[in-house]
């Protein structure tokens, strides 16, 4: 996530870290490097100037030049300025409205509007709401079909738009239908173009005029930089958007849109798209994003991720296992499945402070394949063998290895790793740390 900016910041910090004290020239050099890094990342010039000026002024004003920990002080200043540029504090989506709440998704073609609309519908459903999706991009039959498929994945209802229908007519009829049948959140996916044009803008404005949406979310592709900023400004001037959805942050994004859109439009970033899965639309937190850009990780986000993916009964079972010290291959398999549900390993590692540098030398694809191999070995065991690994003699191991498609030596190595891990789990239970999983309270799953 925003690897280019992160690496540039890290190079600047590394130069400062080798010095016991830094002078005014060091601060000016660091500010100049940061400026060049942000401009190369396609961050809007006005945002770059404001950010760099703020860092330079505070670096001198807070006496970083005479601090005994100049790197920590300077890093904190950069972090605080990043948080400010990104919006200051988390602004959640505002559902307060007399139902039905009508939400329009607008933006350029290919920015991720359709996917974001469906993901937002799933968020609404998980919150106990009754969402209704409306495909209003009548110019692209593929977009209509895509939203219908995604609606099925999210298990929400969708208006049966057909190619050739008029967008305004679709929106008006769908909103009337949804209101009559008790849907409380109506989500309209609108058409986009490769660039802003009057025909597209007039159509979107006409839809807004006909249905009166209470919320208009502009969807920005984080990888497009200045183009996303220009179109965001144009949409905001024409219909006053209420918030931004920043997509494709999991790609090789330069970061221009992420660091510019709030400052240019004055509208908060509400959600961030961080992956390919239906659940990969997350609330945007400026402080957490700043931490991840600077390699500080996002521990709070990681804990929330675990709480959202680990079921309450799984947490209770793991707690009981740790207290009893009775960890077996069945428990190991359950843990592997939990890890897989949490998403790509590189993203999970990126949420841990200080892991970024280490992770660069690790092939996460190899790690993922290794997890699959281990899962295959456990699934090739009988239930009895999983619950009582001590019975794994030579003939059993040969059968298990053949069933998993691995060498017996690979299985032996895995069993040895398991024995070490099981011993570690017993030490945890004796040391009174078994309450680790007990801390995942029912409230965290609600």
pLDDT digits (tens, 9 = 90+) for 25-76: 888 888 888 898 888 888 888 888 999 998 888 887 666 656 657 777 788 8
- The pLDDT value recorded for residue 75 is 83
- Which whole number is the average pLDDT over 214-223? 90
- Phi-psi sector, 110: left (phi>0), alpha (psi -120 to 50), beta: left
| Highest mean pLDDT out of 258-272, 281-295, 384-398 | 384-398
Percent over 70 (pLDDT), the chain:
77
- The pLDDT value recorded for residue 179 is 92
- The pLDDT value recorded for residue 439 is 45
Nearest to 251 by CA among 228, 226, 272: 272
Nearest to 129 by CA among 101, 103, 106: 101
> For residue range 157-176, what is the model confidence (pLDDT) as tens digits?
999 998 889 999 999 999 99
- The pLDDT value recorded for residue 445 is 35
- The pLDDT of residue 208 is above 90: yes
Three-class secondary structure assignment of the chain: CCHHHHHHHHHHHHHHHCCCCCCHHHHHHHHHHHHHHHHHCCCCHHHHHHHHHHHHHHHHHCCHHHCCCHHHHHHHHHHHHHHHHHCCCCCCCCCCCCCCEEEEEECCCCCCHHHHHHHHHHHHHHCCCCEEEEECCCCCHHHHHHHHHHHHHHCCEECCCCCCCCHHHHHHHHHHHHHHCCCCEEEEECCCCCCCCHHHHHHHHHHHHHHCCCEEEEEEECCCCHHHHHHHHHHHHHHCCCEEEEECCCCCCCCHHHHHHHHHHCCCEEEEECCCCCCCEEECCHHHHHHHHCCCCCHHHHHHHHHHHCCHHHHHHHHHHHHHCCCCHHHHHHHHHHHHHCCCHHHHHHCCCCCHHHHHCCCHHHHHHHHHHHHHHHHCCCHHHHHCHHHCCHHHHHHHHHHHCCCHHHHHHHHHHHHHHHHHHHHHHHCCHHHHHHHCCHHHHC
Cis peptide before 31 (omega within 30 of 0): no
- The pLDDT value recorded for residue 435 is 46
> Is the model more confident about 241 or about 259?
241
- Which whole number is the average pLDDT over 235-243? 90
User: Is it true that domain 310-445 has CATH number 1.10.260.30?
Assistant: yes
> Is the model more confident about 244 or about 435?
244
- The pLDDT of residue 364 is above 90: no
| Structure confidence at residue 313 as a pLDDT band (50, 70, 90) | low
- Which whole number is the average pLDDT over 214-222? 92
User: Where does the chain hold its CATH 1.20.120.140 domain(s)?
Assistant: 3-86
Top-tier CATH class for 101-296: alpha beta
- The pLDDT value recorded for residue 18 is 67
- Which whole number is the average pLDDT over 4-19? 78
- The pLDDT value recorded for residue 436 is 44
- The pLDDT value recorded for residue 440 is 44
> For residue range 386-431, what is the model confidence (pLDDT) as tens digits?
989 899 999 999 999 999 999 999 999 999 888 887 776 666 555 5
- Which whole number is the average pLDDT over 377-387? 93
User: Where does the chain hold its CATH 1.10.260.30 domain(s)?
Assistant: 310-445
Burial class (CB in 10 A: 0-12, 13-18, 19+), 357: exposed
What is the CATH topology of the domain spanning 3-86?
A: 1.20.120
| Structure confidence at residue 363 as a pLDDT band (50, 70, 90) | low
| Structure confidence at residue 314 as a pLDDT band (50, 70, 90) | low
| Structure confidence at residue 441 as a pLDDT band (50, 70, 90) | very low
User: Where does the chain hold its CATH 3.40.50.300 domain(s)?
Assistant: 101-296
- The pLDDT of residue 225 is above 80: no
Q: How many CB atoms lie within 10 A of CB 81?
A: 21
Question: What is the residue-averaged pLDDT of the chain?
Answer: 81
- Which whole number is the average pLDDT over 144-150? 94
259-263, 323-327, 331-335: segment of lowest average pLDDT: 323-327
- The pLDDT value recorded for residue 309 is 58
> Is the model more confident about 156 or about 292?
156
Measured CA angle at 223 (ends 193, 126), to 5 deg = 85
Question: What pTM was estimated for this model as a whole?
Answer: 0.68
- The pLDDT value recorded for residue 299 is 46
């Amino acid at each position: 996530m925003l690897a280019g900016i992160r690496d540039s910041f890290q190079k600047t910090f590394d130069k400062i870290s080798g010095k016991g004290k830094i002078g005014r020239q060091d601060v000016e050099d660091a500010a100049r490097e940061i400026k060049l890094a942000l401009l190369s990342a396609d961050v809007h010039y006005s945002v770059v100037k404001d950010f760099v000026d703020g860092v330079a002024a505070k670096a001198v004003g807070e006496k970083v030049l005479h601090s005994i920990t100049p790197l920590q002080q300077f890093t904190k200043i950069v972090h605080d300025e990043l948080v400010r540029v990104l919006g200051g504090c988390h602004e959640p989506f505002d559902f307060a409205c007399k139902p039905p709440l009508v939400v329009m998704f607008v933006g350029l073609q290919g920015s991720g509007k359709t996917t974001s609309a469906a993901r937002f519908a799933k968020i609404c459903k998980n919150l106990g709401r009754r969402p209704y999706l409306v495909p209003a991009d009548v110019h692209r039959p593929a977009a209509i079909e895509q939203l219908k498929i995604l609606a099925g994945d999210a298990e929400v209802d969708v208006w049966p738009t057909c190619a050739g229908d008029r967008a305004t007519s679709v929106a008006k009829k769908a909103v009337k239908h949804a209101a009559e049948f008790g849907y409380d959140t109506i989500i309209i996916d609108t058409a986009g173009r490769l660039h802003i044009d009057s025909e597209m803008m007039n159509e979107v404005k006409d839809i807004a005029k006909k249905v009166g949406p209470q919320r208009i979310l502009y969807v920005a592709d984080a990888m497009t930089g200045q183009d996303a900023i220009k179109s965001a400004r144009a949409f905001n001037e024409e219909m006053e958007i209420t918030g931004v959805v920043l997509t494709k942050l999991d790609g090789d994004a330069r970061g221009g849109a992420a660091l510019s859109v709030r400052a240019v439009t004055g509208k908060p970033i509400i959600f961030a798209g961080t992956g390919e899965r239906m659940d990969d639309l997350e609330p945007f937190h400026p402080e957490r994003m700043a931490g991840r850009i600077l390699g500080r990780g996002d521990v709070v986000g990681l804990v929330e991720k675990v709480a959202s993916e680990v079921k309450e009964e799984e947490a209770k079972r793991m707690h009981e296992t740790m207290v009893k010290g009775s960890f077996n291959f069945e428990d190991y398999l359950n843990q592997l499945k939990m890890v897989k549900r949490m998403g790509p390993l590189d993203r999970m590692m990126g949420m841990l402070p200080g892991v970024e540098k280490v992770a660069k030398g690790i092939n996460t694809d190899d790690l993922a394949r290794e997890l699959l191999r281990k899962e295959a070995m456990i699934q090739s065991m009988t239930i009895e063998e999983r619950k009582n690994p001590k019975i794994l003699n030579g003939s059993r191991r040969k059968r298990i290895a053949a069933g998993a498609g691995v060498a017996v030596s690979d299985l032996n190595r895995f069993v040895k790793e398991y024995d070490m891990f099981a011993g570690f789990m017993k030490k945890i239970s004796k040391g009174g740390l078994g309450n680790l999983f007990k801390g995942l309270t029912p409230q965290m799953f609600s």
